[in-house]
Structure 1
Amino acid sequence: MPRKIAAVSGSCLLLCASAFSVTAWAQPPQASDDTDPSSLPTNAPRQFRAVRVDQPPVIDGIIDDAVWQQANVITDFHQTRPGNGTPTSERTEVYVVYDEDALYVAARMYDSNPELIAAPVIRHGQGMPSDDRLVVILDPFNTGRAGYRFETNLNAARHDSLYTSVTSFSLDWNTIWDVATSVDGESWIAEIEIPFKSIPFDPAIETWGFNFGRAIRRRGEEMAWVSQNRTYNPSVSGQMVGISGISKGVGLDLVPSLSVNRRREYDPATNETSTEPSLDAFYRITPSLNAALTINTDFSATEVDNRQVNLTRFNLFFPEKRDFFLNDSDLFQFGNIGGMASGNDATSLGSRENARPFFSRRLGLSETGAPVDINYGGRISGRVGRWNIGTLAIRQDEFGAVDASDLFVTRISANVLEDSGIGFIYTNGDPASNVDNSVVGVDFKYLNNRLASGRTVEADAWFQQSDTPGLDGDDASFGVGLRMPNATGLRGRMAYKEVQRNFNPAMGYINRADVRDLTADVGYTHFFGGDVWQTAFAGIDAQRIERLEGGLQSQALVYRLLELQTNTRDGISLSYTRNDENVLRPFTLYRDQNRQVAIQPGQYQFSESEISLNTGGQRRVSGRFNYLQGDFYNGERTNISGSVTWNQSRFFVLSANYDWNDISLPQGDFIARLTSVSTQVAFSSTLYWISLLQYDNLSEELGINTRLQWIPRAGQEGFIVLNYNMQDLDKDNTFESAFSDLTVKFRYTFRF
């Protein structure tokens, strides 16, 4: 049966945004007044030679080993903020050596006030947006398309990320490496060891993409070895040359784990105790191609999701947090679907991720979020020449009325042109039903960061089609996007996405179907270059979602009137939003035992104003405050939200968040509240106690997650995790126990 693709209709929103943005792209880029010529791209990339040593340094946070004297000292750092290519306020010295087994990086980061060094992150695996930090970026294949990011702070906390594209990375990815730090009267020092067993590489490639970054948060200062347009990433890097004779060893990691779980339900009363062994095995077929096997996969120690209050008629998006699916997750990214409108305040996370062909949270989890056993699975992923390969096969156990199922996804792409790529994806299987399903798609990504004055242009195009018995025709989805993501001056984006009525990616994510989604944004960033204010931004973000059969579904226009940030990372922002909603079927916002409040079918136009204040996270006490006031469908809404974090010391952090919505409608008034409190206690650099309490009055659930986590070294972990939920189903402020779940788990990595 021939496939029919709906024609793309124009709209005033897109035409206006296109005219504005095309004008912006047509203008020849100009260097800003504060741009140093040394920060602009040249034909000859900056390089250093890595020195091979016979004896590895001792990783103790002290640069006193003789091997460091053999290394070339890298000192030519420059500012990316607040200056651009200007001299740094403090000197930085970086040393790099390697042997057969690992890469070693040492850095001495001078600081005239070391007592003011910011280090609020106290445990491994956490992002460091407010820490004085050292950043190392590796691109072992020197493609400028992907890479690995390693960060550390004064507490020697490890944070690693996998670049899923040159401008975005997965914060939850992790691997095995080591770091030690120290501080003296004039600097802080970090020593890093990155085993070659921990990252893929091609032994025939002796030149790696390489870059360094450093942050001094109290001054709002970012610095880099190589940057372009105030940015550094795998596509904006220098080179490390002379890497040879390195080894992956046998290339085998065996990760057995054992968990003991006791789960108790209170109504009806049940108790269940289970002991579950599991095994993950990872083998390097070649230094750049990995195979993984999982048997009786155990996700019991995975962190809980942060709660969200949904005041829309569309489902929410929760990110993946399970390690097995995060490893090499960049190789399964398709079409840059989630990134086409990233940073556009008129869009929601769910609408941005809409139409993903593969979303790993659909595996091993039911529609309600309950765990589903994975009996076994395998993955082959990595790079062979210019080819990028990701293949995953999973055997999921039966649950409810759903039979056990075999699930398969493969993603292959090829590097083309200078920095671009073309690829395809195929999925087969439905983890949530007994109906067959498959999706096939092709995509193209274009990147050019060699324009005048360091400007960058990115573009994406993709097409995919699903095959589901009983759903014939109108089963495609496609999109295009164009971006100029500049950190200074004018920036803009446009994107179009169509999701047809019967498009059904059973292993992917759908937020809404039978729609065309148009997004556009344009804005301008100015750097002051003074002692107080660092940046000012203003712009317009827009999204228009139309039904394919005709008519508007949703539209949002956000006027980002003014966003100011100081050199100490404090900020204030003002915005005004205009919404248009066309509701065809009623949907419920609130219900209790006596009533429910629903939005009835109709066309609604409403607007709201918002002011936001925040302080720099490097402060001992930091926080943010948001106040929003305006219309809401056929009524009114007031929203007050905020957070406070107390960084008492490197051993204790306390955070509290509160979100309060007061909604008044002709059909009924209600208040929606979401509260969370978290604590982090570091007994040492290897033993942590983390607790999270969450409550919202829509579900009337109070959830407590507390975990004692022991990490004697990377790759070795022990957990004691308690989840305890209470409910107030009749909403009389009397909570009753719903369930408790206690897990003790140990995991150990054997490397060969």
Structure 2
Amino acid sequence: MQYLTYILCLLISTNAFASQTKKPQVSINFTSAKPTTDGDLQDPSLQAEATIDQLTQVWPKVKSANINKSKIKLMYNDEYLLIGAELFNNHTPITANTLQYNQDTTGDDSFTILVDTFDNEQNTYWFSVNPNSVKNDGFIVNNSKNIPEWNGVWYASSKRTDKEWAVEMAIPFKMLTFDPNADAWGLNVIQKIGLDPHGRPIDINTGVRFSGYGDRWRLGLLSVNTESINSKGTQQLTDARGTWLINEHIKSGFMITDGDPSTDVSNQTFCLDFRDHRFLTNKALEVGAWLQSNNTEGINKYDMAWVYQRYIQMTS
């Protein structure tokens, strides 16, 4: 049996090392042990006093309690930030279908850590692992632009049982940019499992997925028929997206969705983006724009938004 797994996530925001802010804090201890990164949380490098166990449910409903009793351990040595997560799922079997590195794990359970090395809530590295030990990573700029093309060399492994899985991660300091004199980092930790807004699993009846690429284009389509959330019927959910590299400087993309997994109300969304990045004589120029249109049943007009951005960076 399969489930939609992007309905519920757990989130906690903490500061690593010491901090004088009002954010939740945890002090991470040093270890001289070398990590094995095999998914075994009995690893000596993870026998830490720094444990996060007060996760907050943020979707579909905000709840303060850690309903799954998951725990995250944090340590560091001379080379790595070390993370060990014991992840419980009390509601559904663990879902893990993706087997290939850096592929979309939207339909899987997953564990993600976001590392804000300057603790300014602007630029963030993120590292994600599913129960099959499939890794994904990226870099978020200005708290808005995700750059999944950023690929770091780091280590992770997962182990699982029926209702529980564990992940061990080792993130090298040498691939991160940070102030060596700073004593605080920002961390967000996310556990994603598959439940509907009422805390129940959603069955997938049928589904189809297509993906393809060429020299200058990528295209993906996912369409599933699921049990309806608020009625006894079914609903069809479809997501199509693609990118086109027009030339070495210009890239355009689109996304189309049909259906809303959180309600039975008909909804369609269309997004189009455009980006031009090039180096001039003494500066780097980036121009971008995106347009989004949304049509929802019961609303008599289209919701529309657009943004135009231009960045100029002087070079020596």
Task: State which structure, 1 or 2, has the greater radius of gyration over its C-alpha atoms.
Answer: 1
* TM-score (structure 1 length as normaliser): 0.28
What residue is the counterpart of 2:121 in the other structure? 144
For residues 409 and 144 of structure 1, what CA distance do their matches in structure 2 show? 33
Counterpart pick for 2:26 among 8, 30, 48: 48
Alignment of 1:385-404 (within 5 A): none
The Cα of 1:575 is off from its aligned counterpart by 8.4
Alignment of 1:570-609 (within 5 A): none
What residue is the counterpart of 2:236 in the other structure? none
Aligned residue type for 1:349: L
Comparing both structures, which one devotes a greater share of its residues to helix? 1
What residue is the counterpart of 1:161 in the other structure? 138
Aligned residue type for 1:118: T
Does residue 195 (structure 1) correspond to residue 172 (structure 2)? The answer is: yes
What residue is the counterpart of 1:124 in the other structure? 101
What residue is the counterpart of 1:313 in the other structure? none
Counterpart pick for 1:349 among 272, 296, 309: 272
3-state SS of the aligned residue for 2:26?
strand
CA RMSD of aligned residues (A): 3.9
Instruction: Summarize the Cα distance change of 1:560–1:191 in structure 2 as closer, same or farther, 3 Å threshold.
Output: same
Instruction: Summarize the Cα distance change of 1:561–1:194 in structure 2 as closer, same or farther, 3 Å threshold.
Output: same
Aligned residue type for 1:217: G
**Contact 1:317-1:349 at 8 Å conserved across structures:** no
Counterpart pick for 2:77 among 99, 110, 117: 99
For residues 95 and 304 of structure 1, what CA distance do their matches in structure 2 show? 43
Counterpart pick for 1:560 among 271, 274, 296: 296
Counterpart pick for 2:155 among 178, 196, 202: 178
3-state SS of the aligned residue for 1:211?
strand
The Cα of 1:319 is off from its aligned counterpart by 6.1
Aligned residue type for 2:139: L
The Cα of 1:57 is off from its aligned counterpart by 2.5
The Cα of 1:184 is off from its aligned counterpart by 2.9
User: Deviation above 3 Å: which 4+ runs of structure 1?
Assistant: 218-222, 301-304, 345-348, 407-410, 507-511, 574-579
For residues 221 and 73 of structure 1, what CA distance do their matches in structure 2 show? 29
The Cα of 1:346 is off from its aligned counterpart by 7.9
**Contact 1:79-1:221 at 8 Å conserved across structures:** no
Aligned residue type for 2:277: F
Instruction: Summarize the Cα distance change of 1:303–1:221 in structure 2 as closer, same or farther, 3 Å threshold.
Output: farther
What residue is the counterpart of 2:8 in the other structure? none
Aligned residue type for 1:62: D
Share of identical aligned residues, percent?
Answer: 19
Instruction: Summarize the Cα distance change of 1:134–1:303 in structure 2 as closer, same or farther, 3 Å threshold.
Output: farther
3-state SS of the aligned residue for 1:96?
strand
Counterpart pick for 1:212 among 184, 189, 195: 189
Instruction: Summarize the Cα distance change of 1:69–1:218 in structure 2 as closer, same or farther, 3 Å threshold.
Output: same
Counterpart pick for 1:60 among 38, 42, 50: 38
The Cα of 1:75 is off from its aligned counterpart by 0.2
The Cα of 1:349 is off from its aligned counterpart by 1.4
Unaligned runs of 5+ residues in structure 1 are 1-37, 223-300, 309-315, 326-337, 339-344, 361-406, 411-425, 428-438, 440-506, 512-518, 522-540, 542-557, 563-573, 580-752
For residues 347 and 219 of structure 1, what CA distance do their matches in structure 2 show? 24
For residues 60 and 271 of structure 2, what CA distance do their matches in structure 1 show? 30
**Contact 2:35-2:45 at 8 Å conserved across structures:** yes
Instruction: Summarize the Cα distance change of 1:175–1:152 in structure 2 as closer, same or farther, 3 Å threshold.
Output: same
Instruction: Summarize the Cα distance change of 1:307–1:140 in structure 2 as closer, same or farther, 3 Å threshold.
Output: closer
Alignment of 1:198-277 (within 5 A): 198-219=175-196
**Contact 1:154-1:188 at 8 Å conserved across structures:** yes
Aligned residue type for 2:165: W
The Cα of 1:56 is off from its aligned counterpart by 2.2
Aligned residue type for 1:560: T
**Contact 1:215-1:221 at 8 Å conserved across structures:** no
What residue is the counterpart of 2:18 in the other structure? none
What residue is the counterpart of 1:318 in the other structure? 244
3-state SS of the aligned residue for 2:217?
coil
Aligned residue type for 1:305: W
For residues 27 and 113 of structure 2, what CA distance do their matches in structure 1 show? 16
Counterpart pick for 1:306 among 218, 226, 236: 218
Alignment of 1:511-526 (within 5 A): none
For residues 201 and 578 of structure 1, what CA distance do their matches in structure 2 show? 40
For residues 81 and 174 of structure 1, what CA distance do their matches in structure 2 show? 28
What residue is the counterpart of 1:72 in the other structure? 50
**Number of corresponding residues:** 234
**Contact 2:219-2:243 at 8 Å conserved across structures:** no
For residues 110 and 303 of structure 2, what CA distance do their matches in structure 1 show? 39
For residues 133 and 409 of structure 1, what CA distance do their matches in structure 2 show? 44
Aligned residue type for 2:106: P
Instruction: Summarize the Cα distance change of 1:128–1:510 in structure 2 as closer, same or farther, 3 Å threshold.
Output: closer
**Contact 2:156-2:170 at 8 Å conserved across structures:** yes
**Contact 1:52-1:99 at 8 Å conserved across structures:** yes
Alignment of 1:289-438 (within 5 A): 305-306=217-218, 318=244, 348-350=271-273, 353=274, 358-359=276-277, 407-408=279-280, 426-427=283-284
Instruction: Summarize the Cα distance change of 1:509–1:88 in structure 2 as closer, same or farther, 3 Å threshold.
Output: closer
For residues 82 and 166 of structure 1, what CA distance do their matches in structure 2 show? 22
For residues 91 and 215 of structure 1, what CA distance do their matches in structure 2 show? 14
The Cα of 1:160 is off from its aligned counterpart by 0.3
